[in-house]
Amino acid sequence: MTERYDLLILGSGSTAFAAAIKAAELGKTAVMTESRTIGGTCVNRGCLPSKDLIEAARIFWEAQHPRFPGLGAKTLDLDFRRLIEGKDEIVHEYRKKKYDSIVDESDKIKIVKGRARLVDPHTAALDGQHLVGDQVLIATGSRPAVPAIAGLGDVPYLTSDLLTSDEPMELTEQPRSLAILGGGYIALELAQLFQRLGTPVTLIQRSPQLLTGYEPEVQAEIEDVLVSEGVDLRLGAATRGVRREGDGIAVVLEDGEVRVERLLVATGRTPNTDALGLEAVGVARDERGFVEVTEELRTNVAHIWAAGDVIGRHTGAQMATPVGAHDGNIAAGNALGSGPRKVDHAVLPRTIFTDPQIATVGLTDEEANGAGYRCSCNAVPIRIVPRAGAIRDERGLIKMVADGESGKVLGVSMIGRDAGEVIHEAAMGMRFGATVRDFIDMVHVYPTMAEALKIAALSFFKDVEKLSCCAE
């Protein structure tokens, strides 16, 4: 059986749905394919379930570690399996509202379950049927990368897919102890999550610091936070191999072993492009398997487009749900005649949902200098922000990177409470070319964490340790 559509989309995650919705808005037909669960990574095993559990762990932790005098510590009851069931309930509800209902209510959008493979430049085959698209969009996302470690294939290990629902790899029993390989955002979020719920965590990272590519002040601060909460950090530790050890696992390092009940591999992500038939239709990929695209998100094959995690860092993109959704809309518009429109990835805010949160936008100090700017950079401790003192959470700092000649803000990095909310003001300012003076002249609500931006800007001209409340 052969079915024809204006837009054939491989995948059904946030990128794919944004593209399908755009196609429908243009009066065109779109079909999505999905080999796992409708909605892709974000709703099923990424952003949504992780943030649900991270918030639960925060409440559990803070009950035992109150910040205010007069509040006694309490240990809450913890039913780990029920916590996971609650996470699944959220996933099911969100998937029904934000994904299933869109397909059910549209006569322009269809989804077909099965593993799709391109058999010619316009046709995907799956489960005995053929889907033909005048235009094709590759939006199959990414999956956890598995490093080449001796013995890894012989032991049971977890990936971030442990957060999934309705699949065998979902973790429903709390580990008695856990080792995590990796030092990126997934490793940090899950390390703190499990440590706060009472699972002793050892985090093993081969580089000497966490979060490669972030400001060194941020790296140092999050290391201090994790250590203070009991996470055993092994930085600069190369993993030589793993093996079964009784009813657990031994991780072999250069200077000894770490023995735990469960092992979690969080060493990055790899694109889902290796089983799509891209070689047969001539779509170019880089050495890591990411699809190469132009600024219009077109591949080297004129009618085939790609967006989301599958393009990696091409065009300056990030592997992040909102970036994929934004680009999916653009790709579909370009493919179906409402363009041409180029992507602009110059200002992309991002957040790591540790506690305190880590949020960044734009260039780091090192990146700005490497790009040829005469960089002017200042870092200010969060304890100077009045809101931080009022809520008794003074952990963190904010760093602002500016062009020394024009004062234009080139980047902001913050680790502190509500950093993920604050960073949007920085991003909007940068989007419109804001200078340090613009952030100073902006009247901020007192007391809020967003005042950190104003204080960081003021630090270029004054000793901010000696300012009264709201003073400029």
Domain of residue 192, CATH code: 3.50.50.60
- Partners of 306 in the beta sheet? 138
Contact predicate 408/376, CB 8 Å? no
Question: What type of residue is 242?
Answer: V
Half-sphere exposure of 33 (CA within 13 A, CB side): 28
What is the predicted pLDDT for the residue at 34? 95
Average pLDDT, the chain: 96
Residue 197 counted as domain residue: yes
Q: Please, what is the angle between helix 47-64 and helix 185-196, to 10°?
A: 40
What is the predicted pLDDT for the residue at 243? 97
Q: Of the candidates 446, 404, 449, 454, which has an alpha carbon nearest to the alpha carbon of residue 429?
A: 454
* Beta strand 256-260 pairing with 248-253: antiparallel
- Reply yes or no on whether the pLDDT at 427 is more than 90: yes
Instruction: State the Cα angle at 159 between 169 and 202, rounded to 5°.
Output: 125
The residue assigned the tokens 């613009």 is 438
What is the predicted pLDDT for the residue at 468? 85
Residue 399 counted as domain residue: yes
What is the predicted pLDDT for the residue at 289? 97
List all residues 6 or more positions away from 11 whose beta carbon is below 8 Å from its beta carbon. Answer: 32, 33, 34, 40, 138, 139, 140, 141, 272, 308
Contact predicate 419/358, CB 8 Å? yes
Last residue of a domain, one of 216, 235, 267: 267
Do 313 and 405 belong together in one domain? no
Average pLDDT over residues 237-252: 96
Q: What is the DSSP string of 173-212?
A: S--SSEEEE--SHHHHHHHHHHHHTT--EEEEESSSSSST
Do 176 and 137 belong together in one domain? no
Residue 472 counted as domain residue: no
H helix count then E strand count, the chain: 14, 21
- Reply yes or no on whether the pLDDT at 339 is more than 80: no
* Total domains in the fold of the chain: 3
| Start-to-end Cα distance in the chain | 70
Domain of residue 387, CATH code: 3.30.390.30
List all residues 6 or more positions away from 322 whose beta carbon is below 8 Å from its beta carbon. Answer: 14
Residue 168 counted as domain residue: yes
What is the predicted pLDDT for the residue at 88? 95
CA–CA separation, 418 and 438 (whole Å): 22
Do 172 and 69 belong together in one domain? no
What is the predicted pLDDT for the residue at 472? 81
Do 164 and 106 belong together in one domain? no
For the segment 85-101, what is each residue's pLDDT rounded down to a tens digit?
999 999 999 999 999 99
Residue length of the chain: 472
Residue 340 counted as domain residue: no
- Reply yes or no on whether the pLDDT at 376 is more than 90: yes
The residue assigned the tokens 């918030």 is 55
Do 321 and 357 belong together in one domain? no
What is the predicted pLDDT for the residue at 215? 98
What is the predicted pLDDT for the residue at 248? 96
Q: What is the DSSP string of 250-270?
A: EEEETTEEEEESEEEE-S-EE
Instruction: State the Cα angle at 162 between 159 and 164, rounded to 5°.
Output: 125
What is the predicted pLDDT for the residue at 236? 96
Do 196 and 291 belong together in one domain? no
Do 85 and 98 belong together in one domain? yes
Do 215 and 101 belong together in one domain? no
For the segment 33-83, what is each residue's pLDDT rounded down to a tens digit?
999 999 999 999 999 999 999 999 999 999 999 999 999 999 999 999 999
* Beta strand 201-205 pairing with 117-120: unpaired
Q: Please give the share of the chain, as a percent, with pLDDT higher than 90.
A: 95
Instruction: State the Cα angle at 403 between 400 and 406, rounded to 5°.
Output: 125
Quickly state the pLDDT bin for 338 (edges 50, 70, 90): confident
Last residue of a domain, one of 283, 306, 335: 335
Phi and psi dihedrals of 204, rounded to 5? -115, 120
Q: Please, what is the angle between helix 185-196 and helix 216-228, to 10°?
A: 20
Do 32 and 126 belong together in one domain? yes
Average pLDDT over residues 411-430: 98
Do 322 and 427 belong together in one domain? no
Do 177 and 288 belong together in one domain? no
- Reply yes or no on whether the pLDDT at 396 is more than 80: yes
Residue 344 counted as domain residue: no
- Reply yes or no on whether the pLDDT at 185 is more than 80: yes
Quickly state the pLDDT bin for 210 (edges 50, 70, 90): very high
Last residue of a domain, one of 294, 310, 335: 335
What is the predicted pLDDT for the residue at 168? 87
Average pLDDT over residues 434-439: 98
Q: Please tell me whether residue 136 adopts helix, strand or coil conformation.
A: strand
Q: Of the candidates 237, 243, 158, 143, which has an alpha carbon nearest to the alpha carbon of residue 194?
A: 158
For the segment 150-177, what is each residue's pLDDT rounded down to a tens digit?
999 999 999 999 999 888 899 999 999 9
Average pLDDT over residues 310-327: 95
- Reply yes or no on whether the pLDDT at 366 is more than 80: yes
For the segment 245-263, what is each residue's pLDDT rounded down to a tens digit?
999 999 999 999 999 999 9
Token duo for residue 279: 């070689």
CA–CA separation, 325 and 97 (whole Å): 17
Contact predicate 10/307, CB 8 Å? no
The residue assigned the tokens 């990055």 is 268
Residue 396 counted as domain residue: yes
Do 137 and 276 belong together in one domain? yes
What is the predicted pLDDT for the residue at 151? 97
What is the predicted pLDDT for the residue at 165? 83
What is the predicted pLDDT for the residue at 166? 80
Give the global pTM: 0.96
**Residue 82: domain span:** 2-143+270-335
